[in-house]
Amino acid sequence: MNTPAHLIFGVAAFGTPGQPRVIAAAAAGALLPDLSLYLLVGWSMLVMNIPAEVVFREMYYSDLWQGIFAIDNSFVLWGALLGAALWRRWPVLIAFAGAGLLHLVFDFLLHNEDARRQFWPLTDWVFVSPVSYWDSSRYGGIIGPLELAVSLALCGWMLWRFKSAAMRGAVALMALAEAASANIWRFIF
């Protein structure tokens, strides 16, 4: 899924109206598994001036990058964090870890050859889904529009659920970000 969709799903599932710390934690947890990707891509393209095609076709698959992704995309680490949060009954940490795990579940189901090591440090095995959220040869033409439709529906639900103007503005920005990113992979590849 596109990162804005992860944010929308995470906040919709774990954000609690009237509890800004829980909402912020859900947003942070939904974003964190992709943070290293943004930092690596941003540095490579903006500072090092490496073309997007090289970044996404070569560097993304390098041992270094995949090693970093294994850490922030580990069901083992996120699951342990959620277990500790549930044990301690910490709503902020539950929202953070829950949204992070939800991100990983969707990535598990929707990443094909770009899948990451999901069970590090226990194993380097990678589940390669037959479905991709972006690759049209692997149903991306179906999954992409479905992701957008569900994301926008969740945004509509959150606009109804969250009453503050600030939160409604944030939801509108998430919807715009998802709509803008929905077809970006067609231009990169």
* 120 pLDDT tier (thresholds 50, 70, 90): very high
Domain enclosing residue 13, as ranges: 3-188
Peptide bond into 130 cis (omega under 30): no
> What sections of 15-128 are H helices per DSSP?
20-42, 52-57, 63-72, 75-88, 91-110
The model carries a pTM of 0.93
Report residue 15: phi and psi, to 5°: -75, 140
Q: Three-state secondary structure along 6-34?
A: HHHHHHHHHCCCCCHHHHHHHHHHHHHHH
What is the mean predicted confidence (pLDDT) over 16-35? 97
Lowest mean pLDDT among 8-12, 51-55, 73-77, 182-186: 182-186
Which is higher by pLDDT, 136 or 22?
22
b/e sequence 6-44, b meaning 16+ C-beta within 10 Å = bbbbbbbebbbeeeeebbebbbbbbbbbbeebeebbeeb
Contacts of 131 (CB under 8 A, 6+ apart): 109, 110, 112, 138, 139, 143
pLDDT at position 184 is 57
Question: What is the per-residue pLDDT for 183?
Answer: 59
Mean pLDDT of the chain: 94
Q: Quick one: pLDDT at residue 135?
A: 87
Mean pLDDT confidence for 112-127: 95
Q: What is the pLDDT of residues 147-189, one digit of tens each?
A: 999 999 999 999 999 999 999 999 999 999 999 987 554 444 4
Give the total number of structural domains in the chain.
1
Question: What is the pLDDT averaged over residues 11-30?
Answer: 98
